């Protein structure tokens, strides 16, 4: 059984994140989505809110679970017996930063592979930050945020 972990801040989860989850769930026997802290970001939603949003979005995906993660992703992957770290890439700029992380993780544990899922072209511009910026001006975020959580996300984002 091949277990993979997909770490991210998911603040909030977008349709792009959900696309990666759906695609990765078809490739790996078990996928763990880890809601992570990112010290360079000030999250709008709590760890529990983000975890709950993802759980609602993945209902029916029996091989996917959501956890709140802490510390280094590669150490968490090792502790959870995950052989793969899943990452999404939208553009060349993502690749550069993701390559640096993957290389560092490889140095920390050469037995854990990082696998990149390339964003579908129609989702390549999408990020939680873009969705939050649009919402801050009361713009329509229905194409950015999964419909099952849009009302809860909008309540907090719309001014």
- Which of 50, 51, 90, 132 is catalytic? The answer is 90
- Which of 25, 50, 51, 128 is catalytic? The answer is 128
Return the residue matching tokens 């975890």.
51
Look up the pTM and report it: 0.94
Domain enclosing residue 130, as ranges: 3-157
Q: Which two tokens stand for residue 89?
A: 């890439």
pLDDT digits (tens, 9 = 90+) for 59-70: 999 999 999 999
- Which of 41, 70, 142, 156 is catalytic? The answer is 41
Tell me, yes or no, if 90 is annotated catalytic.
yes
| Half-sphere CA count of 35, side-chain side, radius 13 A | 20
pLDDT digits (tens, 9 = 90+) for 126-136: 899 999 999 88
CATH number for the domain harbouring residue 139:
3.40.50.620
Tell me, yes or no, if 41 is annotated catalytic.
yes
Return the residue matching tokens 């939603």.
45
Compute the CA torsion angle 61, 56, 5, 26 (nearest 10 deg).
30
Q: What's the total number of domains in the chain?
A: 1
Q: What percent of the chain has pLDDT over 90?
A: 81
CA nearest neighbour of 63 among 33, 92, 35, 84: 33
């Amino acid at each position: 059984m091949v277990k993979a972990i997909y770490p991210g801040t998911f603040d909030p989860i977008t349709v792009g994140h959900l696309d990666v989850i759906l695609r990765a769930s078809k490739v790996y026997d078990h996928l763990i989505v880890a809601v992570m802290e990112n010290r360079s970001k000030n999250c709008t939603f709590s760890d529990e809110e983000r975890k709950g949003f993802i759980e609602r979005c993945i209902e029916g995906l029996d091989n996917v679970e959501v956890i709140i993660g802490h510390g280094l992703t590669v150490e968490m992957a090792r502790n959870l017996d995950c052989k793969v770290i899943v990452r999404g890439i939208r553009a060349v700029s993502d690749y550069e930063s993701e390559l640096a992380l993957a290389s560092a993780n490889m140095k920390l544990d050469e037995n854990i592979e990082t696998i990149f899922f390339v964003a579908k072209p129609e989702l390549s511009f999408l990020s939680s930050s873009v969705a939050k910026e649009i919402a801050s001006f009361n713009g329509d975020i229905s194409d950015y945020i999964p419909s099952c959580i849009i009302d809860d996300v909008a309540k907090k984002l719309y001014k």
